[in-house]
Structure 1
Amino acid sequence: MPVIITIDDVADPRIEAYRDIRERDLVGRQGCFVAEGRVVIEKVVSSADFRLNSVLVAAHRLESLADVLGRLDVDTPVFAASQAVVDAIAGFALHRGLLAIGRRADAPSAEALLGGLPARADILVLSGIANHDNMGGIFRNAAAFGVGAVILDSDCCDPLYRKAIRVSVGATLLVPFAQVDRGTDILDLLDCHGFATVALSPRGERELQHMAVADRNAVLFGAEGPGLSPELMGRAHTVRLSMAGGFDSLNVATTSGIVLHHLFAASR
């Protein structure tokens, strides 16, 4: 069990990383991420790909969180403060009473990630997904339906942003992902690893129920509004969802859930 360090002063330099988290998360985290709540932190502790630098907990939650804290490395600092001090440090009311600063052990390349997948695998490819709620929702669906990996282009937001982690219920810590450099030919990379590529669009050439399912499927999603680029659309099979007349699109996270369920059911 790590030693509990009591914090009484909001200005204590030892908890600098937790100060005004909302603003700091937007401007840069020096390679670290913020984990919030018991469920998310349990996933970090259970993962070989992530490490915790420290934990900040409301003192009245120490007893109920003893089992989680007991799984930390003994040299991980655990800072405990009153709820009022914790809220003042974070800059908002922290109802879950538990925050942690973590870091990714290693960020694999897309090439290495794809090369390590089994012969039967479904993956997601995200282009320009800049909304953290959508990113979290997509990763939650990816975890629910057994996606092997998520590949992000250079215009996607960070899946390890605090809100994306929270919305995903920690799934961004479970589903392997890699981000490619600008200018990378993603479709060429997918082809080299034997993936059949399917691009989702309201203008898709065939409906989802008629989509051919291969052993290796890569499903491409673009940002709401602009969608996928014409160049990507022109080189992939395109699929659309059937909808009632007068409506042609869904939230991208919702769409990903429908498509992934279709692939999951087909694989079974």
Structure 2
Amino acid sequence: MSLEPSADLSRLLVIEDPADQRVEPYLDIRERDLKGRGGRFVIEGEVVLRTALSLGRFAIESILIAENRVEPLADLLASVPAAVPVHIAARAVLDRIAGFPMHRGILAIGRRGAPVSAAGFLASMPADALVVVLSAIANHDNIGGIFRNAAAFGADGVLVDAASCDPLYRKAIRVSAGAALVTPFVQEGDIAALCDLLLAEGFEVLATSPSGREPLGDVAPRGRQAVLFGAEGPGLPRAILDRLRTVRIAMKGGFDSLNVATTSGIVLHHLAR
């Protein structure tokens, strides 16, 4: 393998064999996306890796990049803590490690850290907190889009029920433009239990629905508020809608449906502190 001159290549670890144990966590990425990685997750792409390194919220275990990305990423590599191994590989080797063509040529392994309970998470919120709550959001693009909106409009945190997909799934992080690494979140339990916790912590809980009883414009941002979003199609469970204040986005007659990520952007813009 040949590399162009660089300010400092001494710490880069060259990988020439896809079976090298130093890059074992990167093997067969798509298959492991489905099986899970325990306490690890995969970071993909320059924007997301820069976000992860600048925030330091999640520990970075290692980095793996294509050799042709070394020079363009010189400033990023200079910011990587000395204790984090940085591996480089030829494109063909990188693709064999990952199990598919890695067009971005940038991967990293992050560690989730110790879990936090939803109760403790909410108890630590400020008096004027805005919390996003997700119920059965199974589409990774939607999860990523919602987290991106939550970060953009200053939500204090996101509660995700166990029926939703993982916000730290590789595609969800990428679609969120790294926002899933920025906005604090907890994933646990069912939506009814999460609503109980929110109400016990003094939150006004709003449920979004095309059939909501009040237009969004009538809702004033105030105090502790939480806003619930359900899966496209079924939406939030009827039992949840019956017990909470429900809101809708006014739309042109004959049309009452928006993508849930788009809906979250409109609602959070209105409720932003």
What TM-score, normalized by structure 2, do the two folds share?
A: 0.92
Moved over 6 A (4+): none
Q: What is aligned with 1:46?
A: 54
Identity within the alignment, %: 55
Q: Among residues 217, 235, 250, which one is paired with 1:209 in the alignment?
A: 217
Shift, 1:183, TM fit: 7.8
Shift, 1:181, TM fit: 2.4
Q: What is aligned with 1:19?
A: 27
Q: What is aligned with 1:192?
A: 200
Paired residue type of 2:120: A
- Measure the CA separation in 1 of the matches of 2:65 and 2:40: 18
Shift, 1:42, TM fit: 1.5
- Measure the CA separation in 2 of the matches of 1:64 and 1:8: 21
Q: 1:165-185 deviations in whole A, cap 9, x for unaligned?
A: 000000000000011224862
Q: What is aligned with 2:265?
A: 257
Q: What is aligned with 2:162?
A: 154
Shift, 1:59, TM fit: 0.9
Shift, 1:158, TM fit: 0.6
Tell me, what secondary structure is at the counterpart of 2:137? coil
Q: Among residues 156, 161, 176, which one is paired with 1:168 in the alignment?
A: 176
Shift, 1:193, TM fit: 1.6
- Measure the CA separation in 2 of the matches of 1:113 and 1:97: 36
Q: What is aligned with 1:126?
A: 134
Residues 127-146 of structure 1 correspond to what in structure 2 (within 5 A)?
127-146=135-154
Work out whether residues 167 and 180 of structure 2, in 8 Å CA contact, stay in contact via their aligned partners in 1: yes
Work out whether residues 10 and 88 of structure 1, in 8 Å CA contact, stay in contact via their aligned partners in 2: yes
- Measure the CA separation in 2 of the matches of 1:184 and 1:236: 11
- Measure the CA separation in 2 of the matches of 1:183 and 1:61: 43
- Measure the CA separation in 2 of the matches of 1:150 and 1:89: 34
- Measure the CA separation in 1 of the matches of 2:155 and 2:191: 25
In the alignment, structure 1 residue 237 sits paired with structure 2 residue 240: no
Q: What is aligned with 2:111?
A: 103
Of stretches 67-76 and 31-40 in structure 1, the one that deviates more from structure 2 is: 67-76
Q: 1:203-253 deviations in whole A, cap 9, x for unaligned?
A: 100111112432111000111111111111111100111112221111100
- Measure the CA separation in 1 of the matches of 2:170 and 2:213: 37
Of stretches 131-140 and 222-231 in structure 1, the one that deviates more from structure 2 is: 222-231
Tell me, what secondary structure is at the counterpart of 1:125? strand
- Measure the CA separation in 2 of the matches of 1:48 and 1:111: 24
Shift, 1:13, TM fit: 2.4
Shift, 1:4, TM fit: 1.0
Work out whether residues 36 and 99 of structure 1, in 8 Å CA contact, stay in contact via their aligned partners in 2: yes
Q: What is aligned with 2:45?
A: 37
Work out whether residues 151 and 177 of structure 1, in 8 Å CA contact, stay in contact via their aligned partners in 2: yes
User: 1:122 and 1:182, CA in 2 relative to 1: closer, same or farther beyond 3 A?
Assistant: closer
Matched length: 265
Work out whether residues 127 and 152 of structure 1, in 8 Å CA contact, stay in contact via their aligned partners in 2: yes
Q: Among residues 51, 55, 60, which one is paired with 2:68 in the alignment?
A: 60
What TM-score, normalized by structure 1, do the two folds share?
A: 0.94
Work out whether residues 19 and 91 of structure 1, in 8 Å CA contact, stay in contact via their aligned partners in 2: yes
Paired residue type of 2:139: N
Q: Among residues 85, 89, 107, which one is paired with 1:77 in the alignment?
A: 85
Work out whether residues 35 and 162 of structure 1, in 8 Å CA contact, stay in contact via their aligned partners in 2: yes
